[in-house]
Structure formats: C-alpha cells, structure tokens
Amino acid sequence: MRKNIVAGNWKMNLNLQEGVALATALNEALKDKTVNCDVVIGTPFIHLASVVNAVDTTKIGVAAQNCADKASGAYTGEIAASMIASTGATYVILGHSERRAYYHETAEILKEKVLLALANGLTPIFCIGEVLEEREAEKHFEVVKSQIESSLFDLSAEDFGKIVLAYEPVWAIGTGKTATAAQAQEMHAFIRETLVAKYGKDVADNTSILYGGSCNASNAKELFSNPDVDGGLIGGASLGVDKFMPIIEAF
Ligand code: PEP
C-alpha cells in the first residue's frame, strides 16, 4: 500500500550552517519517536551531502529541489541527477511551480529530468497544480491531467510506480491560502482516477499523492484525513522543527 509522506521544501532558504543545524535538530526530535509517515527534507544542492551526514537517513530522506535535464557535460552551473545521488540524497522535487514559472521548465524538459532521476535511483516528487485563473475558469482538472500526461505518461507502469506526486495549487503556495480539505480530496481523487485509467488500480492505489500549499500545523490533520491525501509537501512550515514536527505528527 502507498506510503504517507511529509516532505519539506526549504527552497532557497538557510545557509549551510543553518541548514545543517535544522536537519540536526529535526533528527534529534525524531530520534526516539515512531511516526506514521516517511519524512523527507528538500534542501539546496550545496547542503545535500552535509545534511545526509547529519541525519539518520533511515528516518529522514533527503531531497534535492531540482536536477539537470542532461546527464553530464558542458552545462555550466547545472547539477546532474547522478551527482545528487552521489551525495546520498534519495529524492528530487521536480516540476515545482516556481521552477515552471520562473525558469521556464516545460513538460518536455521535465520529462527528461524524470527519466534521469529514475535512471539514477532517485524518487521524483513530481509537482502539479493550477494557477488561480485556471481554477476560476474551472480548468483545474484539465490542467493537472495534462501536466501528468505530458511529463509522466510515457513511463512504464514499473517506472511510474516509483513516482510520488504532489498536488500544489499555485494559488495556495506561500500565500497562506490553503485549499479546503474538500478541494484537496476532490483533486486527489481525480488524479487517482486518471492513474487508474492509464496504469490500473494497483499502480494508482500505490501512488502517494501529497498536498502542498500553505499546509501547516493547524490544517495538516484535516487535510491528511482525506482518503486520497497521502501527506504534504511543505514550504514555509518546514523551516523550523517547531512548525514541521506537528505536521509530521498529524498522521
Ligand atoms: C511549496 O513550495 O512546495 C509549498 C507548498 O510552499 P508553502 O507550504 O510555503 O505554501
């Protein structure tokens, strides 16, 4: 059966020392606890190796927030999936709306990134979600379906089984506006039906679909209590143990 996952996305926050301190504190907080979900932290590239060393990776998975769409070579400033894997990180967040909007990541580019992540043994946390105008125009289902189809539906069922999805309505990211539990469940159920139609019930039932968008200690329990919401991708509230732990413990 699918896993519950609470994943933090630190974005471009915290210098190396601050990041290691946060990871160490989270590791300490989780040390003697049994929690009912997998915990992941998505750090800036330069933090990965140090954060991997600072935590018990059997309890905390470490994620990059992006990877290159090329395997290696003359791509100045890029970071390959193989390099991420070599740090001991095991996840990579791909297709975040900030990458799509500010760095012009297209469905085609994301397709390449997913393939490279999988080829290097990384679990992609693949983000999808509509902007406000699309929801207001009642195009949100269509948009999300097309984001999934265009970047992921050429994968075999076996490879698709390695993907974690994160539904992040863009209007809810960093805005303090959360989708209601009903809106989240409605979209997650739709996504799962889309997966059933393409890959069958087993693959769909085994796919973790996380919710992201201003998820915090006060709304996590309600969001996670929905049958198709298998956890969260957490931005702002992952930047402190005091804010992140209650979300983990919402399961
Ligand atoms: C995110 O960026 O993935 C996110 C969900 O951010 P926030 O929790 O801050 O809305």
Mean pLDDT of 72-82: 98
pLDDT score for 175: 87
pLDDT score for 113: 98
pLDDT score for 46: 98
Q: Is the CB of 129 under 6 A from ligand 1?
A: no
Mean pLDDT of 53-82: 98
Q: Is the pLDDT of residue 78 over 90?
A: yes
Which structure tokens are listed for 155?
């994968």
Mean pLDDT of 160-187: 94
Average pLDDT, the chain: 97
pLDDT score for 180: 94
Q: pLDDT tens, 184-193?
A: 999 999 999 9
Mean pLDDT of 14-30: 98
Q: How confident is the model at residue 178 (pLDDT cuts 50, 70, 90)?
A: confident
Q: Is the CB of 42 under 6 A from ligand 1?
A: no
Between strands 164-167 and 231-234, the pairing is unpaired
Q: How far is the CA of 73 from the centre of ligand 1 (A)?
A: 32
Q: pLDDT tens, 207-232?
A: 999 999 999 999 999 999 999 999 99
Q: pLDDT tens, 241-250?
A: 999 999 999 9
Q: Which domains does the chain have, with CATH numbers?
A: 5-248 (3.20.20.70)
Q: pLDDT tens, 113-162?
A: 999 999 999 999 999 999 999 999 999 999 999 999 999 999 999 999 99
The percentage of residues in the chain with a pLDDT greater than 90, rounded to a whole number, is 97
Does the annotation mark 96 as catalytic?
yes
pTM of the model: 0.98
Q: Is the pLDDT of residue 174 over 90?
A: no
Q: Is the pLDDT of residue 1 over 90?
A: no
Which of 47, 96, 140, 188 is an active site residue? Answer: 96
Q: Is the pLDDT of residue 176 over 90?
A: no
Q: How far is the CA of 213 from the centre of ligand 1 (A)?
A: 5
Neighbours of 171 (CB within 10 A): 20
Mean pLDDT of 34-43: 98
pLDDT score for 187: 98
Residue 172 alpha carbon, nearest atom of ligand 1? 10
pLDDT score for 48: 98
Q: Is the CB of 7 under 6 A from ligand 1?
A: no
3-state secondary structure the chain: CCCCEEEEECCCCCCHHHHHHHHHHHHHHHHCCCCCCEEEEECCHHHHHHHHHHCCCCCEEEEECCCCCCCCCCCCCCCCHHHHHHCCCCEEEECCHHHHHHCCCCHHHHHHHHHHHHHCCCEEEEEECCCHHHHHCCCHHHHHHHHHHHHHCCCCHHHHCCCEEEECCHHHCCCCCCCCHHHHHHHHHHHHHHHHHHHCHHHHHHCCEEEECCCCCCCHHHHHCCCCCCEEEECHHHCCHHHHHHHHCCC
